[in-house]
Amino acid sequence: MNQSQRVAGIIDALKAAYPDPMCALTYQKDYQLLIAVRLSAQCTDERVNKVTPGLFQRYPTLDELASADVLEVEELIHSCGFYHHKARDIVLACQMLISTYDRKVPDTMEELLKIPGVGRKTANLLLGDIYHKPAIVCDTHCICITNKLGLAAGKDPAKVEQQLWKVLPPEESSDFCHRIVLHGRAVCTARAPQCSLCTLAPFCKSYTGQ
- Looking at the annotation, which residues are catalytic? 121, 139
CA distance 204 to 107: 34
CA distance 91 to 38: 11
Selection from 36, 4, 22 nearest residue 179 by Cα: 22
CA distance 121 to 5: 27
CA distance 186 to 173: 20
Could you give the 3-state DSSP secondary structure of residue 210? coil
Neighbours of 96 (CB within 10 A): 17
* Cα Rg, the chain, nearest whole Å: 18
User: What DSSP assignment string belongs to 51-68?
Assistant: HHHHHHHHS-SHHHHHT-
- With beta carbons less than 8 A apart as the criterion, state whether 47 and 24 touch: no
